[in-house]
């Protein structure tokens, strides 16, 4: 099955709503100029909650093909949960995607696999596709246990998820030691774990389902390394942090196919 690659920019705690609008405008302009085919390679940005309304307004008004989403979602529906943002609120803002379980949230907010399974469910309840982030830290990598560690995260976060939903999920393999460090995993490192993730989806669901799920790589992705990572059979896109803040660089990443044929 042909999987449409997804290049998603995780802006983290950067850009106010004016900067966000400007960045999306510039990105759209660059991609339009380059005749980017969004049906061939999907492009999305994940701004802060405070920028979502502005991004929605711009995307709607200018009929942009760029998709957008949030960096987190509450596991709760409504009520006394100060500071949380519900899936229904994100859906109302037209969010296509939401990142769930980014390593920074697992680390700084102690998000457990159980909570993440609830967040995955909350996203689907509202018609939003979760981008479930998984990946090992340096200590685990040094022990050579990256595959089993990452698959245990998959098992935990997909607990109770039915096939109808599982077939739509996006999984991002992001080795923690490669995030924001400039230390990019080799294409072979990325393939090893992304392939193992697809294998686990086959065991949990079916080969057909696993074949259709997009598995992204994330961690120090740049325009200079995206093409070789995307050459790997089980890598279906990238979750890009730092490099997604620069529209020129991010547009080049989205146009990785042009680098692959040496353009
Ligand atoms: P990075 O971040 O591209 O800056 O390494 C990736 C991520 O955390 O999603």
Cα 171 to ligand 1 centre (Å): 14
Cα 241 to ligand 1 centre (Å): 3
Of the CA atoms within 13 Å of residue 125, those in its CB half-sphere come to: 15
Q: What pLDDT does residue 262 have?
A: 60
Model confidence pLDDT, tens digit, residues 14-25: 999 999 999 999
Structure tokens at 47: 């701004």
Q: Residue 208 — pLDDT band, cuts 50, 70, 90? A: very high
Residue nearest to atom 2 of ligand 1 (CA): 241
The ligand 1 atom at the shortest distance from the C-alpha of residue 133 is 9
Query: Is 135 exposed, middle or buried (CB count within 10 Å of its CB: 0-12, 13-18, 19+)?
Result: buried
Helix (H) or strand (E) holding 156: helix 146-157
Q: Mean pLDDT over residues 51-69, rounded? A: 98
Q: Residue 184 — pLDDT band, cuts 50, 70, 90? A: confident
User: Is residue 1 over pLDDT 70?
Assistant: no
Q: Mean pLDDT over residues 230-252, rounded? A: 98
Residue nearest to atom 3 of ligand 1 (CA): 241
Place of tokens 């072979």: 188
Whose CA is closest to 239, among 165, 154, 180, 157? Answer: 180
The ligand 1 atom at the shortest distance from the C-alpha of residue 172 is 9
Cα 209 to ligand 1 centre (Å): 27
Model confidence pLDDT, tens digit, residues 123-137: 999 999 999 999 999
The residues that bridge with 171 in the sheet, in sequence order, are 132, 215
Q: In the chain, helix, strand, coil percent, each to 5?
A: 50, 15, 40
Helix (H) or strand (E) holding 117: helix 113-125
Helix 187-204 / helix 146-157 crossing angle, nearest 10 deg? 40
Residues 24 and 153: their CA atoms lie apart, in Å, by 32
Q: What pLDDT does residue 183 have?
A: 82
Percentage of residues in the chain with pLDDT exceeding 70? 98
Q: What pLDDT does residue 258 have?
A: 87
User: Is residue 259 over pLDDT 90?
Assistant: no
Q: What pLDDT does residue 261 have?
A: 66
Question: What is the Cα Rg of the chain in Å?
Answer: 17
Q: Mean pLDDT over residues 146-157, rounded? A: 98
Residues 92 and 165: their CA atoms lie apart, in Å, by 20
Average pLDDT, the chain: 96
Three-class SS of residue 99? strand
Q: Mean pLDDT over residues 57-61, rounded? A: 98
Model confidence pLDDT, tens digit, residues 88-116: 999 999 999 999 999 999 999 999 999 99
Residues 58 and 124: their CA atoms lie apart, in Å, by 25
Residues 68 and 9: their CA atoms lie apart, in Å, by 9
User: Is residue 245 over pLDDT 60?
Assistant: yes
Percentage of residues in the chain with pLDDT exceeding 90? 94
Residues 27 and 32: their CA atoms lie apart, in Å, by 8
Helix (H) or strand (E) holding 97: strand 97-100
Residues 177 and 180: their CA atoms lie apart, in Å, by 8
Neighbours of 42 (CB within 10 A): 20
Neighbours of 242 (CB within 10 A): 19
User: Is residue 263 over pLDDT 60?
Assistant: no
Active site residues: 102, 174
Q: What pLDDT does residue 80 have?
A: 98
């Amino acid at each position: 099955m042909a999987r449409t690659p997804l290049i998603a920019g995780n802006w983290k705690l950067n850009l106010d709503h004016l900067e966000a609008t400007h960045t999306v405008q510039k990105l759209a302009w660059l991609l339009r100029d380059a005749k980017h085919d969004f049906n061939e390679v999907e492009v999305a940005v994940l701004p802060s909650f405070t920028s979502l309304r502005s991004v929605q307004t711009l995307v709607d008004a200018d009929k942009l093909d760029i998709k957008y989403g949030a960096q987190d979602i509450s596991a709760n529906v409504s009520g006394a949960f100060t500071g949380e943002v519900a899936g229904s609120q994100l859906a109302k803002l037209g969010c296509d995607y939401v990142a769930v379980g980014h390593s920074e949230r697992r680390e700084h907010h102690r998000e457990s696999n159980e909570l993440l399974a609830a967040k995955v469910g909350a996203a689907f309840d509202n018609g939003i596709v979760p981008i479930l982030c998984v990946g090992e830290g340096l200590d685990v990598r040094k022990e050579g246990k990256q595959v089993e560690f990452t698959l245990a995260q998959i098992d935990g976060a997909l607990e109770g998820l039915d096939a109808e939903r599982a077939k739509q999920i996006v999984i991002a393999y992001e080795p923690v030691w490669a995030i924001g460090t400039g230390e990019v995993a080799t294409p072979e490192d990325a393939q090893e774990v992304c392939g193992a993730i697809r294998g686990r989806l086959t065991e949990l669901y079916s080969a057909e389902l696993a074949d259709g799920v997009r598995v992204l790589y994330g961690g120090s992705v740049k325009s200079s390394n995206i093409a070789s990572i995307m050459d790997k059979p089980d890598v279906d896109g990238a979750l890009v942090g730092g490099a997604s803040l620069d529209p020129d660089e991010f547009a080049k990443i989205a146009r990785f196919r042009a680098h692959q044929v040496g353009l």
